[in-house]
Amino acid sequence: MENPFVRKMERHVRLASEDRAILDGLARQHIRHIAGRQDIEGPHTEPYHTHLILDGWACRYKQFPDGRRAIVALLLPGDLCDPFVFRRARMDHAIGALTPVTVARITPDQIGDAIRGRPAIEEGLWREMLTTTAIHREWIASVGRRSAIERLAHLFCELHLRLTWAGLADGTSLPMPVTQPDLADALGQTSVHINRTLKELRTSGLVALRSRRLTIRDLDGLRERGLFDPAYLLPA
Amino acid sequence: MENPFVRKMERHVRLASEDRAILDGLARQHIRHIAGRQDIEGPHTEPYHTHLILDGWACRYKQFPDGRRAIVALLLPGDLCDPFVFRRARMDHAIGALTPVTVARITPDQIGDAIRGRPAIEEGLWREMLTTTAIHREWIASVGRRSAIERLAHLFCELHLRLTWAGLADGTSLPMPVTQPDLADALGQTSVHINRTLKELRTSGLVALRSRRLTIRDLDGLRERGLFDPAYLLPA
DNA sequence: AACGCGCGCCAACCTGTGTTAGTTTGCCCA
DNA sequence: TGGGCAAACTAACACAGGTTGGCGCGCGTT
């Protein structure tokens, strides 16, 4: 069973088998398990390690003094929490596990070693980073200018592709292990309204969601509903 | 009169005079003028150059098929439109001039040359990029979880610091050459509501805004109103 | 001097989303 | 097998912010 990180990298660049072995090695060292709802990296810390998500979902979030929470990114299996830790000092946000999560802890040196003399890996990490940035832009546009249904439909489309590329979707059916309050914090709404919107997507026959699994019944319809254009996810 | 790009870089790293000369040289070649409301880089293009903003304000934006516009980033004098063009192919968004703008056109090679053997410059560009990313995160949080006044107050605080660091603010007074519809597209609201909110900030004595210039009358008050914490802008 | 026009500004009204306060479902564990 | 609890779900109501439409000012153009 290939690991999701390697699969994703292979979408960006052609990897030699040695490249693949190096990346796979990163994912097999210093494995840690983190309980759901725990922080992987707290706010205001100066982390020395980065983490590669192997299983479960996490998020990058900001917490306001009065308790409001904004989820600014979702981290799925195969995602690197911070590919370039070695440049950064203080965290201006936190990283939290939304479900129980398995991670591999990686040091800056290990990333440096993996890149050295392996241009494919370097290029792959770059593209990964550019894709992440493109997702950020799309989220700003989404929260700023898409309606509730459009936002939710768009997010589902994004997750569908990201999980597919990590080898974790089964055709048009994908894991969706987060709660409605989590979705709400990611989309800038309330859980009540997420629930309403979900119902509307369901009754219009676009998706089905039960027991933590989303099934897209009408992919084209869902994409249209969310004004989804996959171009932003394809840095090639 | 020093250029805003060099000033900003000097906030990130200590530059040798030769570093400074190199960076300054970049800002003096291939100068172009772009009229207000024109695209600097259209959508779907595969740009070969990047642009350094020398004067005027621009934005990174996404346009929806039905005409809605989302501004996902503001580009101020001293900002590089895309510090790492050489990795990216197709634009998933556009870059537009909000006011008349002066830019220096820069090739990937020039950036490569500037970095080679000059670690301070490389480090500075990294920090610049990390700051940009941090701003993206903050915008997502803002549009997702801040109220209208909080958002506007927060944006003003952000711009105050960014312009100060570029050497373009006069104490607590700063240029604000954008229209209310522009602010609306950046904050995910309508221009009518921006107007209402502006009035509220004005009548509560926090800011004054006239003839394209913002004066912050009560900086602490404004920061509090916007839940502004400058930490995210300081990657040190 | 007159015109046009983008922009700031405002009022009245409307609606999408938030708030509050539940009931129901489903799952884990004793 | 049942008790406890978190999450899903719903209804009624409230309100922040959107929509529409209109006025007037400042400024550039002729």
- The DSSP annotation for A148-205 comes to HHHHHHHHHHHHHHHHHHTT--BTTEEE----HHHHHHHHTS-HHHHHHHHHHHHHTT
Q: Which helix (H) or strand (E) holds B114?
A: helix B108-115
pLDDT at B1 over 60: no
Q: Could you tell me the distance in Å between the CA of residue B192 and the C1' of nucleotide D22?
A: 13
pLDDT of residue B88: 65
- 165-204 on B, CB < 7 Å from strand C: 179-181, 191-192, 195, 198-199
If you classify domain B148-233 with CATH, what class do you get?
Answer: mainly alpha
Average pLDDT rounded to a whole number, residues A129-156 = 97
pLDDT of residue B236: 64
CATH of domain B4-129: 2.60.120.10
Interface of B with A (CB under 8 A): 60, 62, 64-65, 68-73, 84, 87-90, 92-93, 123, 126-127, 130, 133-134, 136-141, 143-145, 185-188, 227, 231-232, 234-236
pLDDT at A88 over 90: no
| DSSP designation for A232 | G
Contacts of A82 in chain B (CB under 8 A): none
% chain B with pLDDT above 70: 97
Of residues B71, B143, B227, nearest to A188 (C-beta): B143
Is B62 in contact with A130 (Cβ distance < 8 A)?
A: no
Out of A129-133, B2-6, B150-154, the most confident range is B150-154
The first and second tokens of residue B156, run together, are 């003003």
Q: Which helix (H) or strand (E) holds A26?
A: helix A17-26
Q: How does residue B90 score in pLDDT terms, banded at 50, 70 and 90? A: confident
Is B92 in contact with A232 (Cβ distance < 8 A)?
A: yes
Helices (H) and strands (E) in chain B, counts: 8, 10
pLDDT at A1 over 60: no
**What is the count of residue pairs from A and B with beta carbons less than 8 Å apart?**
111
Residue of A99, A162, A168, A121 whose CA lies nearest to A25: A121
- Which residue shows structure tokens 């779907």? B44
Residue of A125, A130, A132 whose CA lies nearest to A106: A125
Collect contacts of B233-236 with beta carbons under 8 A, ≥24 apart. Answer: B233/B131, B233/B134, B233/B135, B233/B158, B233/B161, B233/B162, B234/A90, B235/A87, B235/A88, B235/A89, B235/B12, B235/B127, B235/B130, B235/B131, B235/B134, B236/A89, B236/B12, B236/B127
Is B140 in contact with A137 (Cβ distance < 8 A)?
A: no
Q: Could you tell me the distance in Å between the CA of residue A182 and the C1' of nucleotide D18?
A: 26
Q: How does residue A82 score in pLDDT terms, banded at 50, 70 and 90? A: confident
Same fold, A4-129 and A148-233: no
Mean of pLDDT over chain A: 94
Closest Cα in chain A, distance from residue B158 (Å): 15
**Residue B150, CA: closest nucleotide via C1'?**
D16
Average pLDDT rounded to a whole number, residues B110-114 = 94
With H, G, I as helix, E, B as strand and everything else as coil, classify residue B230: helix
The residues close to strand D, meaning Cβ under 7 A, are A 179-181, 191-192, 195-196, 198-199, 209-210; B 147-149, 188-190, 192-193, 211
Q: Is the CB of B148 under 7 A from strand C?
A: no
Contacts of B47 in chain A (CB under 8 A): none
Is A144 in contact with B88 (Cβ distance < 8 A)?
A: no
% chain A with pLDDT above 70: 97
Separation of alpha carbons A55 and A166, rounded Å: 11
> Do B207 and B135 contact (CB within 8 A), yes or no?
no
Which are the contacts of B200, defined by CB distance < 8 A and separation ≥ 6? B149
- Minimum CA–CA partner of B183 in chain A: A144
Average pLDDT rounded to a whole number, residues A197-218 = 96
Pairing of strands A39-41, A94-97: antiparallel
pLDDT tens per residue, range A98-131: 999 999 999 999 999 999 999 999 999 999 999 9
Residue of B210, B6, B4, B181 whose CA lies nearest to B98: B181
Average pLDDT rounded to a whole number, residues A1-24 = 93
pLDDT of residue A59: 97
pLDDT tens per residue, range B157-198: 999 999 999 999 999 999 999 999 999 999 999 999 999 999
pLDDT of residue B211: 84
Length of chain B: 236
Contacts of A153 in chain B (CB under 8 A): none
pTM, full prediction: 0.97
pLDDT at A86 over 70: no
Quote the Cα angle for B97-A137-A107, to 5°. 125
Residue ranges of domains in chain B: 4-129, 148-233
pLDDT tens per residue, range A36-81: 999 999 999 988 899 999 999 999 999 999 999 999 999 999 999 9
Average pLDDT rounded to a whole number, residues A189-195 = 97
Contacts of B133 in chain A (CB under 8 A): 133, 136
